[in-house]
């Protein structure tokens, strides 16, 4: 939704205010909670990516509301304070994409386009040269979201049916298997990657 606004598919001067609560709750709080559950499940990649972007969207929502409350519009051109945060987000997401390459192509492409969009947005916000640069960033974010929809759908369907339904381009044995399996250790822990679960743990397809 935010990327479509940046791509000028829709919007008015009040649009950032309307987007702020959804960005903060759906893109922020919900995603950050997913990151914390991923930490409990011992999934380092999901913890880092959901934690990073959940925190970012919470802050973005608060920032948008702060500008709205002050009566001043959010800067549309140079905005180095936001630009440097995109530098941080881009750097961590590029490393996440590298890590995702060990899992499957779906997650890798999601993070590559997310990192690319962040990089372009960082350059645009730091230099003040928006226009085509920010438009390219918006389309990179949109492509990332479309691939993310497919990838998340494939993971959910694999879990529901107990076998892969949509391909993800597995990079290692078991990467296309159901993502969530019962694990061992502390109560309620689930784990989608290979662990030594012990003799009492249920067999895993991994």
The mean predicted confidence, pLDDT, of the chain is: 79
pLDDT of residue 40: 79
Q: How many angstroms separate the first and last alpha carbons of the chain?
A: 36
Is the pLDDT at 171 greater than 80, yes or no? no
Q: Which of 100, 136, 106, 131 is nearest to 119 (CA)?
A: 136
Mean pLDDT in residue range 135-145: 92
pLDDT of residue 19: 82
Is the pLDDT at 200 greater than 70, yes or no? no
User: For 3-12, 79-88, 129-138, which range has the lowest pLDDT when averaged over its residues?
Assistant: 3-12
Mean pLDDT in residue range 21-48: 83
Mean pLDDT in residue range 96-119: 91
pLDDT of residue 165: 81
What are the CA-CA distances from residue 90 to residues 33, 49, 86, 94 (Å)?
21, 11, 6, 6
Q: Please, are residues 63 and 75 in contact by the beta-carbon 8 Å criterion?
A: no
Mean pLDDT in residue range 182-198: 45
pLDDT of residue 194: 42
Percent of all residues in the chain with a pLDDT value above 90, rounded to a whole number: 21
What are the CA-CA distances from residue 86 to residues 120, 161, 174 (Å)?
9, 38, 34
Q: What pTM does this model have? A: 0.76
């Amino acid at each position: 939704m935010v990327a479509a606004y940046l791509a000028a598919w829709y919007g008015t001067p009040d649009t950032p205010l309307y987007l702020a609560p959804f960005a903060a709750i759906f893109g922020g709080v919900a995603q950050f909670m997913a990151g914390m559950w991923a930490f409990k499940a011992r999934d380092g990649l999901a913890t880092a990516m959901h934690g990073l972007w959940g925190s970012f969207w919470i802050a973005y929502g608060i920032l948008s509301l702060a500008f709205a409350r002050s009566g001043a519009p959010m800067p549309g051109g140079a905005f180095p304070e936001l630009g440097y945060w995109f530098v941080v987000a881009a750097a961590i997401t590029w490393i996440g994409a590298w890590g995702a390459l060990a899992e499957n192509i779906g997650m890798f492409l999601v993070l590559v386009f997310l990192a690319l969009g962040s990089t372009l947005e960082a350059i645009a916000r730091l230099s003040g040269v928006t226009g085509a640069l920010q438009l390219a960033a918006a389309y990179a974010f949109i492509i990332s979201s479309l691939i993310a929809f497919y990838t998340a759908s494939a993971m959910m369907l694999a879990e529901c049916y107990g076998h892969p339904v949509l391909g993800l381009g597995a990079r290692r044995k078991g990467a296309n298997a159901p993502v969530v399996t019962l694990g061992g250790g502390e109560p309620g822990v689930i784990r989608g990657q290979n662990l030594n679960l012990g003799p009492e743990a249920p067999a895993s397809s991994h």
